[in-house]
């Protein structure tokens, strides 16, 4: 069965942290839908790359298997400020799906939303200061704890993407892709 994944494209997000998961997940055969946080589907990344989302978050009517929340401080702040996105992430977790966040976003959005309580997680260095005392910061590239997948930053975007495939039950596909993409 094809896995459905949403990737958030927020103004100010890190380009590589958004594009790497989109690329890897689509190569694996996942149905990836990119979402903007406003009615405009045009988004400007932290590196001034203009990208066009498939649709806006307001038009979502389904719950995916996973959602990817890229980082970049501007993008993370925009993600954290989105009440519809917070509600969607809660619904995904309630339905057994995965919330996957990278860079600043675990500290700027997931921690304040209460989604890291009692979890092990990673993020871009210094953003762990936002973690609740019940959250254990782990200095690793990618950390999985239950339905939450976190990653450290731009340089970890590919291992983050492969780990998302693994938690979606596509470990063999993740291994094939990492070899085929020369990620050693």
Q: pLDDT tens for residues 85-113?
A: 999 999 999 999 999 999 999 999 999 99
According to DSSP, the β-strands at 142-145 and 136-137 are unpaired
Angle between helices 15-27 and 157-167 (to 10 degrees): 40
Contact 64, 6 (CB under 8 A): yes
Residue 137 has pLDDT above 90, yes or no: yes
Residue 45 has pLDDT above 90, yes or no: yes
Asked about 30 being catalytic, the answer comes back as: no
Cβ contacts of residue 77 below 8 Å, gap of 6+?
12, 108
Supply the pTM of this predicted model. 0.98
**Topology of the domain comprising 4-104+156-175:** Rossmann fold (3.40.50)
Using CA of residue 147, residue 40, residue 52, residue 102, what is the dihedral sign? Answer: negative
Number of Cβ atoms within 10 Å of the Cβ of 139: 9
Distance between CA atoms of 150 and 17, rounded to whole angstroms? 12
Using CA of residue 163, residue 164, residue 167, residue 172, what is the dihedral sign? Answer: negative
Number of Cβ atoms within 10 Å of the Cβ of 41: 16
- For the chain, which residues make up each domain, given as ranges? 4-104+156-175
The pLDDT tens digits of the residues spanning 30-40 come to: 999 999 999 99
| Catalytic option among 89, 100, 103, 123 | 103
Number of Cβ atoms within 10 Å of the Cβ of 107: 27
């Amino acid at each position: 069965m094809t896995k459905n994944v949403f990737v958030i494209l927020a103004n100010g997000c890190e380009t590589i942290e958004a594009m790497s998961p989109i690329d890897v997940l689509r190569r694996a055969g996942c149905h990836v839908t990119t979402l903007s946080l406003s009615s405009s589907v045009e988004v400007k990344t932290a590196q001034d790359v203009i990208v066009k989302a498939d649709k806006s978050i307001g038009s979502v009517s389904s719950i995916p298997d996973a959602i990817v929340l890229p980082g970049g401080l501007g993008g993370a702040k925009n993600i954290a400020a989105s009440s519809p996105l917070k509600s969607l992430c809660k619904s995904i977790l309630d339905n057994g799906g995965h919330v996957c966040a990278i860079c600043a976003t675990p500290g700027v959005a997931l921690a304040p939303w209460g989604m890291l309580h009692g979890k092990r997680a990673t993020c871009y260095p210094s953003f762990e200061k936002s973690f609740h005392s019940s959250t254990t910061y782990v200095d690793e590239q990618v950390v999985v704890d239950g339905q939450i997948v976190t990653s450290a930053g731009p340089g970890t975007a590919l291992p983050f993407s492969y780990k998302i495939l693994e938690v979606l039950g596509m470990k063999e596909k993740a291994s094939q892709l990492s070899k085929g993409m020369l990620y050693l």
